[in-house]
Amino acid sequence: MSRTQSWIKKGLIFAPPGTSEWLHTHAALPVADRIGELHRVYFSSRDKARRAQVGYFDIKLTAPHKILRLSEKPVIALGPTGAFDDNGVTTSWIVTHQGKKYHYYSGWSLGVSVPFYFYVGLALSDDGGESYKKISGAPILERNAIDPYLTASPCVLVEDGTWRMWYVSGTGWEMKEGQLRHRYHIKYAESSDGIYWRREGRVCIDYESQDEYAIARPCVLKDEGLYKMWYSHRGQSYRIGYAESANGIEWERKDAHSGIDVSESGWDSEMIEYPYVFENEGTHYMLYNGDGYGRTGIGLAVFDRSG
């Protein structure tokens, strides 16, 4: 991939059908996992009580608009009452390591002084992604002195035995037009096993202005020795941002070069967010959401090498 980006939109590939209790509205935060000739796309859908759970659909990239299989029930469901994920689980990232799939997710619970809390959880699969079991009833990235408010949406790469994570970290809440509004940006952590993480408070992507208050869902790839990150950033409404780094820790924002923006009309004309970029047989693809934080479904774009 060149540093000057251009993405060709292939349109909406999946819209929530509203055909089952867990799959009522939304298909948010897509993550692709290659399984043979297919790609399994995990996503988060909401029930009638607006609680998110994780399911999937299978596609071939040669015919991405044809859904080959849709999970009948969530593969990562709500936690028990009182747990950190009793009011929602949203997908984030998958690592395949030593025959197991590590599915990192965000667990949601309702608050009193603030509207909600969320923290990073982990579920494992030893059957190729057909089912997952949470490793704990507690988050793996709980509140601490580094992250006193929120943690969410990790991206994880394993390099030379070191697990590297880029994740969302809350920096506080503020009253805006009579309502509490969260603030969060992107930090960095490391681990030797993907479960227990060392956090030092290294900020990778920070707020660019006072108007920006949410920098979300990082997606990092290492391409030709250069680390590249796509993410969502929001002031008035979400857009897809882009940054580069030589070491994965110190980043330069290049949002103007993300190569993708809202459409003039249609399902992604108001906002565009939650990018997941992956490579398949020499071509780079991007899954992303449009209007309503996944309410309108999931789109696909292909990197234009001629751009």
Residue 1 located in a structural domain: no
Residue with tokens 């299989």: 69
Judge whether 2 lies within some domain. Answer: no
Structural domains counted in the chain: 1
Predicted TM-score (pTM) of this structure = 0.96
pLDDT in tens, 7-54: 999 999 999 988 889 999 999 999 999 999 999 999 999 999 999 999
Q: Does 112 fall in a domain?
A: yes
Q: Report yes or no on 114 lying in a domain.
A: yes
Per-residue CA distances from 266 to 12, 66, 290, 302 (Å): 10, 20, 9, 19
Q: Domain for residue 278, yes or no?
A: yes
Give me the tens of pLDDT residue by residue for the chain, a chain 307 residues long.
Answer: 445 689 999 999 999 988 889 999 999 999 999 999 999 999 999 999 999 999 999 999 999 999 999 999 999 999 999 999 999 999 999 999 999 999 999 999 999 999 999 999 999 999 999 899 999 999 999 999 999 999 999 999 999 999 999 999 999 999 988 899 999 999 999 999 999 999 999 999 999 998 999 999 999 999 989 999 999 999 889 999 999 999 999 999 999 999 999 999 999 999 999 999 999 999 999 999 999 999 999 999 999 876 5
Which of these, 31, 38, 151, lies nearest to 94 by C-alpha position? 31
CA distance 282 to 302: 11
Q: Is the alpha carbon torsion for 66, 274, 127, 53 positive or negative?
A: negative
Residue 108 class from Cβ within 10 Å (0-12 exposed, 13-18 middle, 19+ buried)?
buried
Asked, for residue 249, whether it belongs to a domain, the answer is: yes
Range of the structural domain that residue 48 is part of: 7-303
| DSSP SS3 for 38 | strand
Residue 102 inside a domain? The answer is: yes
CA separation, residue 228 to residues 84, 97, 99, 209, 221 (Å): 31, 22, 27, 22, 5
Within a domain: residue 21? yes
146: CATH = 2.115.10.20
Q: How far is Cα 100 from Cα 27, in angstroms, rounded to an integer?
A: 25
Q: Indicate the pairing of strand 162-176 with strand 179-191.
A: antiparallel
